[in-house]
Amino acid sequence: MSAVLPEQKLVRSLRIQARVIGALLMREIITRYGRHNIGFLWLFVEPMMFTLGVLALWTALGLHKVVLPIVAFTLSGYASVLLWRNTINRCGNAVEPNRALMHHRNVRIIDLYVSRIILEISGASISFLILSVVFMATGLVGMPDDLLKILIAWFLLAWFSLDMALIIGSLSVLSESVDRIWHVVSYLFLPLSGAFFMVDWLPTYAQELVLWIPTVNCTELLREGLFGNLVRAHYSVGYVVLVNMLLLLPGLLLVRYVGLHLEGE
């Protein structure tokens, strides 16, 4: 009998985990959205409806302080909020409803988190893409100035969301209070996330402070990609990459610790 090479074992393991995550994705979609009406389409229709509602309210009230396309400004702000907020929130309660699945040998706690993270990032991304295309087709939003900057900003924000989802999700398993506290913190964090302002609008001392927040840097880069020379964006891609790398390590370590903790129960 020929020996199985380590490379073959790795490929086989990756295929198994890919099937596990795929199955968890389908289970999550069916459990959350059901098989009736539009089913899984709610995955991106729901954030689209929320964004459109906020956009209509802002337009009706005229809540805008500079000469910028209000539709594109609102769309970029709330799309970014839905990306990080939904991704992190959904992982806060990922383990308890699926604890019975942990008895299966190939289902690990990281699979539960990854499936929900993929689901939320996909939903936010699809809704942002569809709304952007529709608004461009109707003339409400102009063509983006730099598509590459938009993609980089979205990727960095999704990466940050993944890191925080692993951290908050793992800590929530160790203490139920963490999930409740995070929901309050996320509401308080909204006005600081960069969704409702441009850094250049703020006083100099405030600009230096808010740029310590990774989501602000991502949103600034996103809007520079959308508006080009219409805005003066402030951001540091290197800083966001560094923060994301530093957050990923404790996130993975916490997931591993929680996995061992659950196995010991």
b (16+ CB within 10 A) / e for 117-128:
bbbbbebbbbbb
Task: Report which residue type is found at 216.
Answer: V
pLDDT tens digits for 105-158?
677 888 888 888 998 898 889 888 888 888 888 887 788 889 999 999 999 999
**Residue 171: per-residue pLDDT:** 92
Q: What whole-number distance in Å separates Cα of residue 82 and Cα of residue 124?
A: 6
Nearest to 247 by CA among 215, 222, 209: 215
Q: What is the pLDDT of residue 1?
A: 44
Find out whether 214 and 160 touch, Cβ atoms under 8 Å: yes
pTM: 0.84
Distance CA 107, CA 21 (A): 8
- Cβ within 8 Å of residue 175, ≥6 positions away: none
Q: Where are the alpha helices (DSSP H) in the chain?
A: 6-33, 42-61, 70-91, 109-138, 147-174, 176-189, 204-210, 214-227, 237-263
Structure confidence at residue 209 (pLDDT):
93
Parse the chain into domains and list their residue ranges: 14-263
Tens of pLDDT, residue by residue over 82-112, are 899 989 988 887 777 767 666 676 778 888 8
Ranges under pLDDT 50 in the chain: 1-2, 63-65
CA 239 – CA 61 distance, rounded (Å): 36
Q: Check residue 218 and give its pLDDT.
A: 96
CA distance 4 to 247: 36
